[in-house]
A and B are shown apart, each in its own frame.
Chain A
Amino acid sequence: MTASYFSFEHVSFLYSDGTQAINDISLTIPVGNKIAILGENGSGKSTLFKLLMGLERPTKGTILFKGKPLKYNKSGLQQLRQQVGLVFQEADHQLFASTVKQDILYGPLNLDWSIEKITSQVDKAIALTELEELENRPIHFLSGGQKKRVAIAGVYAMEPKVLILDEPTSSLDYYFSTQLTDYLKKLDTDDRTFLYSTHQINLVYEWADYYIVLHKGKVIYVGERDALFTNDALLQQAHIEKPWIVSVTQMLQNSDPQWGNIAMPHSKEALVAQIVALQKKEDLISI
């Protein structure tokens, strides 16, 4: 059995108005994976993250963190949140400091780090999100995308073991959207887990190695990407776009017998490599 950060055991969650946002979910969040959380609007992604952060308590069932049931007292939650960081869907709700640098500083300040470590972490996060020029700007004079980058930097600086991003690219431009997975790669270590909810599947298809699909508060898929993206009925049910790599590969497979047994590639490079290899083989035969 592989190690896991979180385990959900028959977890349900009802909002106080009676909305059933999470409905009897059982799953584990493994250590060291890059996980994409997919699902239509209102499927419960943000609620799931609130449960992971201990911001809401399950109405039914238990959540285990590192094998122990979550403790909802002050020290228990503090310990949890030192290891789990969440970038909220709306950056506006996350930022509260006066300036960019200060907001990024707040998280690390509340960890028991030395001054040197705090300063270096903050500078690293600022450099990574390319915020140097905005460092001393008051938050309310930033654009939506810039705020988002500050929010990401603020959580990034805390180096959480589990890093959760709730639709992080929804207000980012193309450059920063593609850049985000590069940022995350720099943080990638064997014991760090990423959870990334998104509707822009092409942005995470190469990067994410594990997929969880929510639909109306239930988990309808957990696992590797291939079985998910070739299951058309499931994709349709959960409003998930098929990654273009998968579409193109399937088209190739169906177009001509010679492409019939191309394996499903996980990156553009892998797709091109396969095509080139097949082409070479053919050239050899025709000679």
Chain B
Amino acid sequence: MLNIDYIAHHNGLQKVAAGQKLLLSIGALLIVTVSRNNSVALWTLLVMSSVIVFYAKIPLKAYVTLMLAPLGFSLAGIVTIVVSISFTNEVNTDMLWHLFTPFATLYILPSDVDRAINIFLVAFSASSCLYLLILTTPIYEISPILLKCKVPTIVIELIELIYRFIFIFLQASMQLYTAQQARLGYKSYKMSFQSLVLLISVLFRSIFFHYEKMTLAMKSRNIEHFIIPDVYLLKKKWQRLPLILFIVYVFVAIGLIFV
């Protein structure tokens, strides 16, 4: 998890302007979710994954691991869509599968399968769009753009702080876990549970402690607001290749919609 932030700073798309990456990723996201078309979704998944792996040069293994999370979530969600339940014993004739139980009948309809596949593809390729943004663009490069889009400062600052605290949280939990392991805290099942309970309570305490200290440090440096104006960020020009990529992507997608 800690790696996401590292990858966002060290990848092949580092020199591309954040606005351009935002356009590519959010543009594709909109096209996928608005069109709700299977081939567009597959096409988007293909383009985003290729950009992430071949252009941004993010290790395939890292990307696949990260994609497992949305895969799990979408699959879990789909089960409830595919499987219908009926409490009467009426049997629909075009069922693909059914299971009678004393109380109810579980069954699957072909139309539901189509719907599920569609939702799954759309959700899955939408997450690849978001990964493109997350994996190639550090959060502080997005903030000035959000500011230009008139998002309230307080919201942007909250996003940045939450982002920062996710990493503090992860780091603290990893440190504690290592410390416990070093003293054999996870040797047996029983001890594992005890250690885990301890880990969680200490984690919360240490996060509040950290928060308090950080507030002091910010106060003492007089820090009032912390969206970095983009004059101080490295100037990044809009590049031709990503733009061409985006245009090609959009045309193919539109073509696919009308096929």
Contacts and interface: CB of A to CB of B under 8 A. Distances in A.
Interface in A112-141: 115, 118-119, 136-138, 140-141
Interface in A81-107: 81-82, 85-86, 88, 90, 92-99, 102, 105-107
Interface in A63-83: 77-78, 81-82
A53 interface: yes
Nearest to B216: A55
Interface stretch (B1-9, B22-30, B44-52, B109-117): B1-9
Q: Chain B contact residues (Cβ within 8 angstroms of A): what range?
A: 20 to 34
Given A85-B221, A98-B139, A111-B222, 12 more contacts: A77-B219, A86-B220, A93-B216, A94-B217, A96-B214, A98-B140, A98-B160, A105-B232, A107-B221, A109-B226, A110-B225, A119-B232
A138 B168 CA distance: 12
B171 A81 contact: no
B140 A102 contact: yes
Nearest to A102: B228
A99 B138 contact: yes
B98 to A, nearest CB: 53
Contacts of A95: 217
A71 to B, nearest CB: 15
22 contacts: A55-B216, A81-B219, A88-B213, A88-B220, A90-B213, A94-B214, A96-B164, A96-B214, A98-B139, A98-B140, A102-B140, A106-B221, A106-B228, A109-B232, A110-B221, A110-B222, A110-B223, A110-B225, A136-B9, A138-B9, A140-B5, A140-B167
A81 B221 contact: yes
Interface string B8-50: 0100000000000000000000000000000000000000000
A8 to B, nearest CB: 18
B37 to A, nearest CB: 37
A50 interface: yes
B228 A105 contact: yes
A158 interface: yes
Given A81-B220, A81-B221, A106 B226 contact: yes
A58 interface: no
Contacts of B217: 88, 93-96
Nearest to A56: B216
A216 B140 CA distance: 44
B218 interface: yes
A109 B229 CA distance: 9
Contact of B138 (A85, A92, A98): A98
A117 to B, nearest CB: 12
A155 interface: yes
By secondary structure, the A interface counts as: helix
Contacts of B9: 99, 136-138
Interface in B231-249: 231-232
A97 B210 CA distance: 14
Contacts of A44: none
Contacts of B224: 110
A144 to B, nearest CB: 12
B1 to A, nearest CB: 11
Q: Which of A90, A110, A137 has the most CB of B within 10 A?
A: A110
Given A98-B138, A138-B9, A140-B5, A109 B228 contact: yes
Contact of B222 (A90, A97, A107, A141): A107
A151 to B, nearest CB: 9
Interface string A217-231: 000000000000000
